[in-house]
Amino acid sequence: MTSPEIWFTLYELAKRGAVHRHCEITTRELGDALDVSQQTASRRISNSVEEGFVDRVHTASGMMLRLTEQGKTKLLNVLNDLEVSLAPPGDEIEIVGIAVSGIGEGAYYVDVYSERFREALGFEPFSGTLNVKISDDQSQTAVKRMKHSPPIIVPGFSKEDRTFGDVICYRVKINDKLEGAVVIAQRTHHSRDILEVIAPFNLREKLDINDNDRVRLTVIPLHLAT
pLDDT one-digit tens code per residue, 17-62: 999 999 999 999 999 999 999 999 999 999 999 999 999 998 887 7
CATH number for 94-219: choose from 3.30.450.20, 2.10.109.10, 1.10.357.10, 2.40.30.30: 2.40.30.30
Is the model's pLDDT at 223 over the cut of 80?
no
**pLDDT number for residue 164:** 81
Which residue type occupies 80?
N
Is the distance from CB of 41 to CB of 27 less than 8 angstroms?
yes
Q: Rounded to an integer, what distance in angstroms lies between the CA atom of residue 39 and that of residue 41?
A: 5
Please tell me what DSSP assigns to residue 150.
P
**pLDDT number for residue 88:** 60
Q: Where are the alpha helices (DSSP H) in the chain?
A: 4-15, 27-34, 38-50, 69-86, 106-121, 137-147, 203-206
The residues that bridge with 98 in the sheet, in sequence order, are 133, 214
Is the distance from CB of 75 to CB of 6 less than 8 angstroms?
no
Mean pLDDT, residues 190-213 taken together: 91
- The structural domains of the chain, with segments of one domain joined by +, span 4-86, 94-219
Q: Is 2 strand, coil or helix?
A: coil
What's the pTM? 0.64
Question: Which tens digits make up the pLDDT trace of 169-195?
Answer: 999 999 999 999 999 987 655 567 899
Q: Rounded to an integer, what distance in angstroms lies between the CA atom of residue 23 and that of residue 67?
A: 10
Least confident window among 34-38, 54-58, 102-106, 154-158: 102-106
CATH topology of domain 4-86: Arc Repressor Mutant, subunit A (1.10.10)
**Cα-Cα-Cα-Cα dihedral sign, residues 75, 90, 179, 116:** positive
205 — phi, psi (to 5°)? -75, -45
